[in-house]
Amino acid sequence: MTRVYVCSCFGITEKQVKEHADAGACTPRQIASACKAGTDCGSCVRRIQALLGRGACPRRRLLDQGEPALSELSAPPAPAAPSSALQDLSKVA
Ligand code: FES
């Protein structure tokens, strides 16, 4: 098994960067947040950017297709009142 190191300061491999990209990291800053790569000498940032190029990030693919990268949050459905609670209320009234 050959490990290709991207960030020698933190021992981060290409595989790890791609795994973070698959998990949703689309920018070098997001990769840095995930594993610190690029936060010391910074010499690996361009290489990380290259790895994050087209196709590496699912959200970037959506943006390229004109789709919103983040979907709007919809309001969760209102919880249904348990029938026993309604029966208790009928006793009060
Ligand atoms: S090689 Fe990545 S921060 Fe130095």
The count of other CB atoms within 10 Å of the CB of residue 1 is 3
**Distance between CA 51 and CA 57 in Å, rounded?**
9
Q: Where residue 9 sits, what CATH number does that domain have?
A: 1.10.10.1100
For residues 51 and 18, the answer to whether their CB atoms sit within 8 Å is yes
Query: What local confidence, expressed as pLDDT, does residue 43 receive?
Result: 97
Atom number of ligand 1 nearest to Cα 10? 2
Q: Who lines ligand 1 at CB under 6 A?
A: 7-9, 37-44
Q: State the total domains in the chain.
A: 1
Q: How far is the CA of 80 from the centre of ligand 1 (A)?
A: 53
Q: How far is the CA of 5 from the centre of ligand 1 (A)?
A: 10
Tokens of 59: 């959200």
Q: Which residue has the least CA distance to atom 1 on ligand 1?
A: 7
Query: What local confidence, expressed as pLDDT, does residue 74 receive?
Result: 54
Each residue's pLDDT, cut to its tens digit, for the chain (93 residues) gives: 789 999 999 999 999 999 999 898 989 999 999 999 999 999 999 999 999 986 656 666 666 677 766 555 555 566 665 655 555 655 665
Query: What local confidence, expressed as pLDDT, does residue 48 receive?
Result: 95
Tell me whether residue 25 is in a domain.
yes
Host domain of residue 47: 5-69
Q: How far is the CA of 10 from the centre of ligand 1 (A)?
A: 7
Tokens of 27: 């920018």
Give start and end residues of each alpha helix (H) in the chain: 14-22, 28-35, 45-51, 58-64, 83-92
Tell me whether residue 76 is in a domain.
no
Tell me whether residue 15 is in a domain.
yes
Tokens of 78: 């209102």
Tell me whether residue 11 is in a domain.
yes
Tell me whether residue 40 is in a domain.
yes
Query: What local confidence, expressed as pLDDT, does residue 12 receive?
Result: 97
Tell me whether residue 39 is in a domain.
yes
Tell me whether residue 55 is in a domain.
yes
Tell me whether residue 22 is in a domain.
yes
